[in-house]
């Protein structure tokens, strides 16, 4: 199945000069969504995770069904102020400012394997910050799974030396 055909291009969003890859059209297509989840599940299963780490918020869309299909736990990585217990936090740079991600300190069992899931790998800053949060626990980062990768932005180069899987790659 050609997943690229199900992903809508939106020019000049969120600002002029940006070509936004919109997954909502993929999510609306039942056969396309099932196919994408099947592919993500196969790639994720090969990494033998104990936990799926979903990055807020679109990482939740793919992460929850992956965790369910694989019979493993789901752990959200959230924006600041959303988690009620003790957290690890990581600030990171964006092309237009900075942001922060947080993870509960007790979210991952020591020695467990975690796979980070998100919808998009672009410049790599968000995924790198999530990986650094995993490093602050006693868990092991087993890999990354993305629905879309914008290869021209070289985000993969910022990530630790673990497997990185992407369903759709735009050059």
Catalytic annotation, pick one of 21, 43, 56, 95: 95
Give yes or no: 95 in active site. yes
Q: Report the DSSP pairing between strands 140-150 and 164-170.
A: parallel
Q: Is 122 exposed, middle or buried (0-12, 13-18, 19+ CB in 10 A)?
A: buried
3-state secondary structure 43-66: HHHCCCCCEEEEECCHHHHHHHHH
Catalytic annotation, pick one of 21, 58, 78, 113: 58
Provide the 10 A C-beta neighbour count for residue 21: 19
d(CA 41, CA 44): 5
Positions annotated as catalytic residues are 58, 95
């Amino acid at each position: 199945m050609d997943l690229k055909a199900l992903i809508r291009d939106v020019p000049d969003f969120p600002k002029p000069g940006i070509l936004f890859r919109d997954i909502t059209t993929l999510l609306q297509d039942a056969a396309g969504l099932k196919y994408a989840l099947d592919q993500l599940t196969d790639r994720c299963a090969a990494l033998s995770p104990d936990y799926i780490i979903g990055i807020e918020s679109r990482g939740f869309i793919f992460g929850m069904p992956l965790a369910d299909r694989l019979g493993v736990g789901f752990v959200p990585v959230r924006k600041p102020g959303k988690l009620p217990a003790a957290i690890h936090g990581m600030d990171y740079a964006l092309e237009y400012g900075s942001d922060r991600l947080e993870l509960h300190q007790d979210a991952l069992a020591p020695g467990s394997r975690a796979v980070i899931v998100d919808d998009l790998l672009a410049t790599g800053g968000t995924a790198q910050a999530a990986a650094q949060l995993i490093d602050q626990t006693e868990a092991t980062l087993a890999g990354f799974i993305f629905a879309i990768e914008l290869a021209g932005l070289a985000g993969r180069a910022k990530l630790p030396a673990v497997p990185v899987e992407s369903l759709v790659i735009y050059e």
